[in-house]
Amino acid sequence: MEWYSDSEDSGSFEGLGGGEGAEVTQGEAPQDAGLYQGLPSFFSVEDESSRLKMERMMSDSPCGLIVCDALDPDQPIIYVNRIFEIVTGYTAEEILGRNCRFLQYRGAYATRRHPLVNPSLVTQMRQSVDGGKEFQGEVLNFRKDGTPLVNKLFMIPVHGDGDTVTHFIGIQSFTEALLELGPLPSPPWKEPVRWRQRPIQENDHFSYLVSPSGPGQAPRGESFIMLLSDEVLAQKIFCSVAPRDLASLAMVCRRFHRLSENEDLWRAVCRKEWGPETANVLDQMARRQQLRWGRIAREITTLEAAAWRKFTVKGAVEPSRCNFSACATGNKLVLFGGEGANMQPMNDTFVLDLGVESPEWKHVQVSCAPPGRWGHTLSCLNGSWLVVFGGCGSNGLLNDVFVLNLDDDKPTWREVATSDPVGAHRPHPRSWHSSCTLEGTKLVVSGGCSDSGRLLSDTFLLDLTMKPPTWREIPVSWAPPSRLGHSLSAYEGQKLLMFGGLATSGPLRLRSSDAFTIDLSDEEPKWRYVTGSTLPGGATPGGTPPPPRLDHVAVSLPGERVIIFGGSIAGLNSASQVFLLDPTEEKPTWRRLDLPGQHPKFAWGHSTCVMGGTRAVVLGGQTGEEWILNELHELSLLSANVPPLDAVSAQQPDPKGKRVVAD
């Protein structure tokens, strides 16, 4: 599948016939000099000695060779030699005019990059192309028949006038990859449906179908969909598909490709698929960074640009603390409460605005602050609203709820008054529980630890739109084992994914790698086991899950996917490993992501903020015991968020933001 974002036509539409007989043999001038117009000098008749030198190099060690036009945004292939055709199984007519990324799709009918292709290597390759630099590496490619190949690629930029990169030369040495990948993807089309034909009347609902063959008649070889107007196609059909499907539609024909270049169409598709909150954040980024929505959709869907970076900020969070809770609203990170010296519960609020040129921690003066606490949860509601629940205070565990509108002129914490008795309708006081928000108005609380030290397995929902707000326990016939320190992620409206934590296993308490889902919109919600290691057959349906852990980070991505990293992990496993799970799949399978950049050594769920579903900012946790809140690590899905290495600030952290605390 090709993505049409910042490019012109990258399919085989125009100029493909020019590849006929494009191979140049040693010592023989090409028959058609016009065929080599626009190629580097050593492929043209004007520089015969350079051309012969290149041909001698190629004949000494036969390799595939392509030339790409660097002045075209999509770098289409404009020359291919015969060896490349033989090895890949594609003819010149199928290759010319396309970006060479199509070799990362298995078979002629594949619609997406194969999951075994290393996304970080693809990112390095794209960065080399963007920077006009050489690239050398081994990339997993596929023949037309689906056979996996290891492509030892050497890519060279060719400079023209003014040191401008005009072309890229790719030299490939292919070897067979010993992989068992199963059957090839099936062709994307089905047998044509036999429609009953009848004349279309003027008052017919389908009167916008216009055909030169007559009313109600499609020209031979064409589908009725081709008779729809551009307006109907864009507003009634293309707007209703997912970003990945829109990219596939753009491959059908020139007309669909032209329609798919509309920025408003991509924006509407992404907003429908990812929700207005994420779309608004991305819209601001698109305007600020001058990004096209097609590129944004590609990078978020494929995760090809995902990378870590480290940066520093000014200011300080004083007094120093641990076991605080943090979340993000827009471009602002909010930190509330925590455990101070001598286990003193704290109730102050700090804000870090990453949307400004020089971010700095600032203490926010608020009214009616909640009682001090640690081990609580802080979540974001619609817009700038925040909600705090539970935790451990000076007089024991808590089960109160407070909300704050950060955009108020005088921000004030307000306690959410409920008349529900504790027990059947209201959660018991707890700490180290998990919570998330649904639809921006509902708070969900799950598990945790009670006053007596007992682990909990219940799930409660608080609808803040009701008057008065009312707690409701989710009735289930079976619940996952009791646990604390787990994560709770929302996807597809009112569906929840629970992962990990410290769970009960008979008389023991063990770190868990189990995953469970529940749909709260069902009349009778039921927990369903997805994948894990402690239950029977746990590793079979879901691949190899992340190592068991608690107090980890769970990030809900656009497209209903969840990534897991960090936390307290047993053994020698690294907390910086990132795992991806799509709970919407028929058989959800864990996938490990190999991401470039400077990753954190430690990351904790209560101190990591997710911004718009495209960035996860990790606060402190450099050694697991030392909180340096001026040193932040960011996991970004978009290349626009990651500055060049020489642009990353080398500023030393403020020593006031650092404190060593005991476990």
Tens of pLDDT along 133-176?
Answer: 999 999 999 988 888 999 999 999 998 877 889 999 999 998 88
Is 293 in the same domain as 329? no
Residue 374 pLDDT: 94
Of 9-23, 140-154, 186-200, 390-404, least confident by mean pLDDT is: 9-23
Of 56-70, 464-478, 556-570, least confident by mean pLDDT is: 56-70
Let me know if residue 621 belongs to a domain. no
Let me know if residue 7 belongs to a domain. no
Residue 61 pLDDT: 52
The residues pairing with 519 across neighbouring beta strands, listed in sequence order, are 495
| Residue where a domain terminates, one of 549, 583, 605 | 549
Residue 238 has pLDDT above 80, yes or no: yes
Q: What is the pTM of this model?
A: 0.66
What's the mean pLDDT in 459-482?
90
Let me know if residue 202 belongs to a domain. no
pLDDT in tens, 258-300: 888 888 899 899 888 888 777 887 887 788 777 888 888 888 8
Residue 646 pLDDT: 39
d(CA 92, CA 269): 34
| Residue where a domain terminates, one of 534, 549, 564 | 549
Residue 406 has pLDDT above 60, yes or no: yes
Is 294 in the same domain as 329? no
* Number of other residues whose CB lies within 10 A of the CB of residue 463: 14
Residue 62 has pLDDT above 90, yes or no: no
Residue 250 has pLDDT above 70, yes or no: yes
What's the mean pLDDT in 344-362?
92
Q: How many CA atoms lie within 13 A of 177 on its CB side?
A: 21
- Distance of alpha carbon 155 from the chain centroid: 28
Is 346 in the same domain as 481? yes
Residue 53 has pLDDT above 60, yes or no: no
What's the mean pLDDT in 226-239?
85
Residue 254 pLDDT: 84
Residue 422 pLDDT: 54
The listed range with the strongest mean pLDDT (12-16, 144-148, 217-221, 288-292) is 144-148
pLDDT category at 553 given cuts 50, 70, 90 is very high
Let me know if residue 157 belongs to a domain. yes
Contact 535, 512 (CB under 8 A): no
Supply the mean pLDDT for the chain.
78
Residue 161 pLDDT: 78
Is 236 in the same domain as 146? no
Is 283 in the same domain as 412? no
Print burial letters for 361-384: b (CB count within 10 Å at least 16), e (below 16): beeeebeebbebbbbbbbbbbeeb
The residues pairing with 531 across neighbouring beta strands, listed in sequence order, are 515
Is 296 in the same domain as 345? no
DSSP character string of 294-305 = HHHHHHHHH-TT
Let me know if residue 574 belongs to a domain. no
Question: What is the tally of structural domains in the chain?
Answer: 3
Let me know if residue 216 belongs to a domain. no
Is 254 in the same domain as 384? no
pLDDT in tens, 70-99: 888 888 999 888 889 889 988 888 888 888
Contact 334, 351 (CB under 8 A): yes
- Distance of alpha carbon 595 from the chain centroid: 12
pLDDT category at 359 given cuts 50, 70, 90 is very high
From residue 52, alpha-carbon distances to 28, 35, 263 in Å are 9, 17, 46
Residue 191 has pLDDT above 80, yes or no: no
Let me know if residue 155 belongs to a domain. yes
Residue 614 pLDDT: 82
Structure-block tokens of residue 165: 């990169």
Is 287 in the same domain as 329? no
d(CA 114, CA 142): 9
Q: 3-class DSSP state for residue 85?
A: helix
d(CA 113, CA 126): 15
Is 339 in the same domain as 466? yes
Residue 222 pLDDT: 56
The more confident residue out of 454 and 229 is 454
| Residue where a domain terminates, one of 505, 533, 549 | 549
Let me know if residue 459 belongs to a domain. yes
Residue 240 has pLDDT above 80, yes or no: yes
The more confident residue out of 300 and 33 is 300
Q: Report the CATH number that the domain containing residue 237 is assigned in CATH.
A: 1.20.1280
Is 331 in the same domain as 363? yes
Residue 465 pLDDT: 87
Q: Report the CATH number that the domain containing residue 93 is assigned in CATH.
A: 3.30.450.20
Amino acid code (one letter) for 141: N
Contact 510, 503 (CB under 8 A): yes
Structural domain boundaries enclosing 332: 319-549
Q: Which residues, including other chains, have CB under 8 Å from residue 346's CB and lie 6 or more apart?
A: 319, 321, 324, 337, 338, 339, 340, 372, 373, 374
Amino acid code (one letter) for 265: L
Residue 554 pLDDT: 93
Is 427 in the same domain as 538? yes
pLDDT in tens, 612-625: 778 899 987 554 44
DSSP character string of 202-262 = TTSTTTT---TT-TT-PPTT--GGGGS-HHHIIIIIGGGS-HHHHHHHTTT-HHHHHHTT-
The pairing of beta strand 396-405 with beta strand 414-415? antiparallel
Is 413 in the same domain as 498? yes
Q: Report the CATH number that the domain containing residue 375 is assigned in CATH.
A: 2.120.10.80
